[in-house]
Amino acid sequence: MSAAEAVKKLGSRHHLQRFESPSRGFSGVLHVAGLICFYIDFKYLVDHPNVINDSYGWHLQYLTIIGLSISALCFTCALLADTLSSPLLFTLKNYLALIATPIEILISLLYWGLRAIDPQLVVPPDLPMLPLATDFAFHLFPSVLLTLDTLLLSPPWPTAPTPPTASFALLTSSTVLAFAYWFWIELCYSHNGFYPYPIFALLDTWQRVGLFALSGITMWIVAAGLRAVYAVVNGVEEGSLGVKRE
């Protein structure tokens, strides 16, 4: 390989990415698989209507569906980047993944944790439980797909080296997102007279504050954990020179 070819290849992906991305190979296949999964999820909501379909906020009352929407937008940008070899779309995908991946992992942790304690904490008693395969498609597969994308097909962070304030900024943004969702479900409750997740009705105001604060902190921990796992899988930056250390 000539020096020019080596420089071109290095410029086509971040040196800490495990696989080539954007590309029409593994990267494209993963993003197509993700979009198919998200399409099946949204189609299920349309094909199996219930009281939520006609209520204020539609299914976007659910954190699960908000997460799916962000994830679908993230993977749409990713697939377009794969197809068009667009650095701009690839960068946009990476920024969206910073939000989507921790949210999807948080959704999986909260949903399956609460479901293990009592399914009626997350599913109203007047609605049927989802078939297991569909449940996985909503509450497990998105977090797996986004995690694979983050660990294998993305640079370690949109900026390198990471700014010293990044951890605090991430904690702040995670907390803001958690309380923004709280404001949203309270708005929906004011119109509908019920919460999307039964657990909210079992808690008083201060307990809900605690729940959303804990969720924001958990999302921050998840994001930090992803960076730590990324370092184990791919290596880390040394200083500002971008030297890979494994």
Going 177 to 181 to 184 to 190, the CA torsion angle's sign is negative
Model pTM score: 0.87
Q: How far apart are CA 81 and CA 210, in angstroms?
A: 40
Checking if the pLDDT of 223 tops 80, the result is yes
Burial class (CB in 10 A: 0-12, 13-18, 19+), 27: buried
Name the band, by pLDDT with cuts 50, 70 and 90, for residue 3. Answer: very low
Q: What is the pLDDT of residues 75-122, one digit of tens each?
A: 999 999 999 999 999 999 999 998 999 999 999 999 999 999 999 999
Checking if the pLDDT of 217 tops 80, the result is yes
Cβ atoms of residues 209 and 216 within 8 Å: no
